[in-house]
Structures are given as structure tokens and as C-alpha cells.
A and B are shown apart, each in its own frame.
Chain A
Amino acid sequence: MAVMAEPVAAQVKRSSLWTRAFESRHFLGAMFMVPAIAILILFLAYPLALGFWLGMTDTKIGGAGRYIGFQNFVSLSKDSVFWLSVFNTIFYTVAASAVKFAIGLYLALLLNERLPMKSMIRAIVLLPFVVPTVLSAIAFWWIYDSQFSIISWVLIKAGLITRYIDFLGDPWNARWSVVAANIWRGVPFVAITLLAGLQTISPSLYEAANLDGATNLQRFRHITLPMLSPIIAVVMTFSVLMTFTDFQLIYTITRGGPINSTHLMATLSFQRAITGGNLGEGAAISNAMIPFLVAAILLSFFGLQRSRWQQGGRD
């Protein structure tokens, strides 16, 4: 690139400063970056910094706040609802991500078989991920209704239970219900991205293993899993990130209830900051999510994906 930029620069030596500036890739590069950088600084970097600051103030909606140091965090550390939301968030993330990974990998392996109408099946499988989460969550809300739940109706007709299940009225029922809805939404993403990874594994590896007499399980353990591990790491990082910061499903299905037992940190921060008007306290809860997020990213990125990144591969 540098080699060929020089003759061009020589050619325009006598033209005006302005024209010359437009031939310089550094200047031109900067100009090209302006729209993206302007939006990202004003609406991404600045709010991120403002969030740190707000977390240390007692700002309320409609009034300027003053600096109070770590007082928000001190009062949160004595707040049992906050700790409950931390527990819920971790439970929600761990339970949903583990099942999403298991079903997603299984579904990816199934879709990697020889199937009729494969591209159509793949398109259908991805639907839960495409449809607006809030709108599909409304369907789940109706499925979990205490009087008209179709699940309860089927189980009663099958003679397995005698009373309607109170899906959203009991803390643990509610937790598992929202986890199930999250799994429903997340499985397609995991499955389709892992399928893309599976399709890059060379069939000759499996043929060689077959000739050596490897069983199905051995082929999976010694070929599929190692070849897939880089993409598993990335997919699960995204999945954990999306689950940990989830807001839509909870807000639609339970609004954090019953008695705060499904509040995630994101929904609690919304409740405190926007509904309750305590912007400062809400921002402090948001900030408390950041260490968890960074830890999750580092763990899955560097813990799982040993192969490419750490051996000096290109990003």
C-alpha cells in the first residue's frame, strides 16, 4: 500500500494544499471516520463515562445531583433486593446459558446431518431469534397465564397434575419460567452459529477416523469438539453477555415479580432509575454489572479459546 501511495503523492506535489490533503490517506481516513466516530462518542462513549459519574451522585429525574462518592454502592450493599437481583441474574445466566449451549450444540449436530429441505428447516429454526423478543414474550406471558395456561391444561388432561400450575406467582416457578423463555429465544442463535462452524470442519477428518475404527462418541470428542472450540467460545461469550444484560423478557413476562424474585440487575436499575426517578442509584446498579461482564468476557474468551488468539493469530 505504502509503495503505491508514493507515486500518487509525487504527482500532486504542485497542486493546492487542499487537494493534497485529500490525497493523504491519513487525512482522508479521518474524514471517513467522522460520521461513525461522532455518533459513537456522543451516544456511546460519553454516556458510558456519564454513567460512571451518575453512579456517584444522587441525581433524581428533573434535578441536578451532587457528588456523594460511593454512598450509592454502600447503601446498595445493605439492600437485600439488590443482592437478590444479583443472585437472580447469575442464576438466570448460568441456567439459561448452560441449557442453551447443550440444546444448541445438539440441534447444530442434528442440522449438520443429511436432511431434506435443509435450508428451509434452518430458516424456520432461526425464527425465535428474528421475531421481536417482546412480542414473543407476550406469547409466553399468555402460555404462563395462571388460569388459561395451555401447559397446565395439557398436563391435567394427561392426568399428571390436578391443579393449574401457578407459573408466575411462585418465586421458583417464575424463575424457571423466564429461564425457559430465554432458552427458547437463545437456542436458535447458538445452533445456527455453531452449525456454521461445523460446516467448516473437513469431512476427510471424519473419514480418517472412520477408517481407524472410531466410534461416534470418539469422533465427537476428538474431532468435532476441538475443531469447534474457538467458535464455541465466541458464541457463548455473546450468549452470556446477552443473557446477563437481558431486560426485555423479564420486563414483559414478570416485571421482576413475584416479590422481586425474578428481578435482574438490568430490570432493577430500570425500576429504580426510570420508574422510581433515582437516576443515580439506577446508574450505580448498572455500573455494578460491569465487573461481572468483564469477568465473563475474559473468562470465556481467554479460558476457552486457547487456540487462535493466544498463538499470535490475527484478530
Chain B
Amino acid sequence: MTTADDQSVGMDYLESFPRKFFRVYLPLGLIIFFLLFPFYWMAVATFKPDAEMYDYEKYNPFWIVHPTLEHIKKLFFDTDYPLWMWNTVIVSVSSTFISLFASVCAAYAIERLRYKGSRYVGLAIFLGYLVPPSILFIPLAAIVFQLGLFDGNLALILTYPTFLIPFCTWLLMGYFRTIPYELEECALIDGATRLQILMKITLPLSLPGVISAGIFAFTLSWNEFIYALTFISSSENKTIPVGAITELVNGDVYHWGALMAAALTGSVPVVILYSFFVEYYVSAMTGAVKE
């Protein structure tokens, strides 16, 4: 990404600060407040004792008087939350790696081997990217059941690549396209096989693309909900989003504290990963749209 300074329009310096404050900073601040408030609210509820949570008269709701770890403790020791976390990690990591492997091979074949009909396959994969999970989950449930995968991590590990592979392949095709042919030609003349070329030239050169695809795929599978909700039934096999919404609500009793703690602790790993790879994440997101 380019830096801010060389993008600005030439006469910016003529603008006075108060004017710019009302034109830019104020609306920007309001929008950012709107975007961040739910997170603040999530964090406040996580560390607030029940007594303060349900009494807005005595305590100001925006603040915590006696912070507590009670909700987090309840979540980690009285529920299956640690198992959900474990399942989510296993499923996200495995499906990301499967998808990356399949996508690297497919994208290389489509972009560089250019076999007969590769353009049409590329187009078909892009169309696959447009098929939303919410029209696939019913027939997929039938298939998962028939294959005996129902209620197990494998059901999710094998179905998540259906939305990850099209995305990753499409993104990687864009990256592979930017690598000059001449490099591969040199290697071919030196007697390298196609596999060697892929492993030693194409992949290292497109490492940023592979990281982008991997980060984005990981967050997508961490966030996935509808397949996990449909294919998993027992509590110990659930992922965090599904477990939080189905197991922490007993009839009409909502454990708001524990729910918020689950929401917060379930988001933190993705946010940490994201914060390390912001540029890669953004380039994955915009790259997929720009192509």
C-alpha cells in the first residue's frame, strides 16, 4: 500500500485546522465511535459483576466499579468453552492448510501450465466463489450424514474448503500472474521439473500472496457459523460461535456475562492474528475484489 502523503491533493495545505476538523475529523470520529462501541460494550460486560450489570440506577452503566473475572472463570471452568476453542483452532488450521495446498496447485496449473481449458476452469472456480453457504448447507447436511461425518471435526474440515479454495485460488492466480515467465524458462532450461519450479521459484516469490490467502482463509473459517451449526450436534464438538449461541442460553435465562466473555475471548485470537498481518489481510480482501 502507498503512504498517505503522496496521495493527497495538492492544495490541502490551504485548509485551516477548524475547517478540516468539521469536514474530516468530526465525522470520522463519529463513524469510528459507532464502529468500536459494540467492542467496548462487550469488554465492559465481560468484566462487570452481575450486581452492576443489572442495576443502572446505582451504577453508571458505562463504567465498572468492581471489575471481576467471575464470568471468564465460569466460562472456562463450568462450560465446554475450552473444547470449543480447541475445535475451532483445529478446524480453522486444518481447513486453511488443505485449502492453501489445493489452491496453490490449482492456481499454478491454471496460470502457468495453461493446460487445455484452464481459462474455463478458472472462471468456474470464480463462480464457485459466488455460491453462498446458506444455499448449500441443506444438501451438504445430507451428504455429510451419508458419509458418516456428522457431528465431528472432519465434517467442517472438509466442507470449509468449499468457500476457501475458490477464494484462495482466485487470489493466488493474481499473484502468480505477476511473476515473469523468464524465470521459469531459465529453470526449465536448467532441467528443473515443474514441481521444482513451483517449490523453488513461484512459491517463494509469491509468499506475500500465500500469507494473505492463508490469513484471510483462517479468519473466514474461524468465523464460519452455518455449517458448524448444522453439522455438529454434541456440545464437546462445537466451535466457539456455535457453542456460545446454543449452550450459554438456558431457555429464557441468558448468562449475559458469560456470553459476553465468550464473545470477547473468541474474538481476541483473530484480532491478534489480524493485528500482526493487517497489510496482508487488506491486500487479500481488496485483491479478491479488484481482480
Asked if B61 and A153 sit within 8 Å, CB to CB, the answer is yes
Asked if A132 and B161 sit within 8 Å, CB to CB, the answer is no
CB nearest neighbor in B for A39 = B161
Given contacts A54-B139, A124-B32, 9 further A-B contacts (CB under 8 A): A4-B185, A36-B102, A45-B128, A107-B28, A133-B225, A153-B61, A193-B285, A279-B142, A287-B135
B237 within 8 A of A: no
A188 within 8 A of B: yes
A270 in complex: contacting residue of B28, B106, B161, B230, CB < 8 Å? B230
Which residues of A lie under 8 Å from residue B235 when comparing CB positions? none
Asked if B36 and A289 sit within 8 Å, CB to CB, the answer is no
- Tell me the chain A residues, 287-311 only, with Cβ under 8 Å from chain B: 287, 289-290, 293, 297
Asked if B1 and A286 sit within 8 Å, CB to CB, the answer is no
B4 in complex: contacting residue of A114, A206, A252, CB < 8 Å? A114
The range of chain B's interface size is 35 or more
Contact of A29 with B109 at beta-carbon distance under 8 Å, contacts A35-B101, A138-B260 already known: yes
If over half of A's interface residues share one DSSP class (helix, strand or loop), that class is named, otherwise mixed; here it is: helix
Asked if A127 and B106 sit within 8 Å, CB to CB, the answer is no
The complex places the Cα of A44 from the Cα of B120 at a distance, in Å, of 17
The complex places the Cα of A269 from the Cα of B61 at a distance, in Å, of 39
B289 in complex: contacting residue of A234, A252, A270, A290, CB < 8 Å? A234
Which residues of B lie under 8 Å from residue A269 when comparing CB positions? 134, 138
5 residue pairs A–B, Cβ–Cβ below 8 Å: A8-B188, A32-B113, A54-B138, A110-B27, A266-B135
- A residues with a Cβ closer than 8 A to B are 1, 4, 8, 22, 25-30, 32-37, 39-40, 42-48, 50-51, 54, 59, 103, 106-107, 110-115, 118-119, 121-136, 138-143, 145, 148, 150, 153, 184, 187-189, 192-193, 196-197, 199, 203, 206-207, 210, 231, 234-235, 238, 241-242, 245-248, 251-252, 266, 269-270, 273-274, 279, 282-283, 286-287, 289-290, 293, 297, 315
One of B65-73, B203-211, B239-247 contacting the partner = B239-247
The complex places the Cα of A283 from the Cα of B140 at a distance, in Å, of 11
Once A and B bind, how many residue pairs between them come within 8 Å at the CB atom?
316
Contact of A196 with B290 at beta-carbon distance under 8 Å, contacts A127-B271, A138-B245 already known: yes
Asked if A125 and B32 sit within 8 Å, CB to CB, the answer is yes
Contact of A35 with B290 at beta-carbon distance under 8 Å, contacts A22-B193, A289-B135 already known: no
